[in-house]
Amino acid sequence: MMIYPNLISTTVPDKDVKEILNALKFINEKLPDLVTLTKEELTTLPKIGENTNSFVLENLREAENNPGLVPKDVEIGEIKRDVELIKAISRILNPLKKLERKLEDSALLAGSEAYLPSIAIHNAMKADAIRRKHQKATIKV
């Protein structure tokens, strides 16, 4: 007899799901000005990363130290707001990414744990149907 692994055995009560969804709604309400970009919009934006952030911060310092060299169409205040937004979003996003990973991994594990014994059930039912069909055929002879 095969014993199936059970590495996760928990539930999330409906009451908790509703509270979590309300908390997510609250978070969304606290961030009303954030945007969702289309695929087309994403392809037009320059790719950014850690080096980009350092580049922005370095040039922001240079602009503050040398305001006469800043092009007239560049708004330093807007760059500062963008940098602050990036910092705030990063502080929120990092724990959300960890939670997302836990949710995804837990769903994957639970799905796997449910699927493997379901295959065994399916095979047992299939074998039983074949056995009964064979018995009926034997009785008729």
Domain-located, residue 4: no
Domain-located, residue 5: no
Domain-located, residue 6: no
Domain-located, residue 68: yes
CB 60 within 8 A of CB 80: yes
- Which has more confidence, 49 or 115? 115
Domain-located, residue 81: yes
Domain-located, residue 95: yes
**Mean pLDDT over each residue of the chain, to the nearest integer:** 93
Give the tens place of pLDDT for each residue, 60-91: 999 999 999 999 999 999 999 999 999 999 99
What pLDDT score does 27 carry? 97
> For a pLDDT cut of 90, what percent of the chain falls above it?
84
Range of the domain at 22: 14-140
Q: What is the pTM of this model?
A: 0.75
Domain-located, residue 76: yes
Number of domains in the chain: 1
Domain-located, residue 92: yes
What pLDDT score does 50 carry? 79
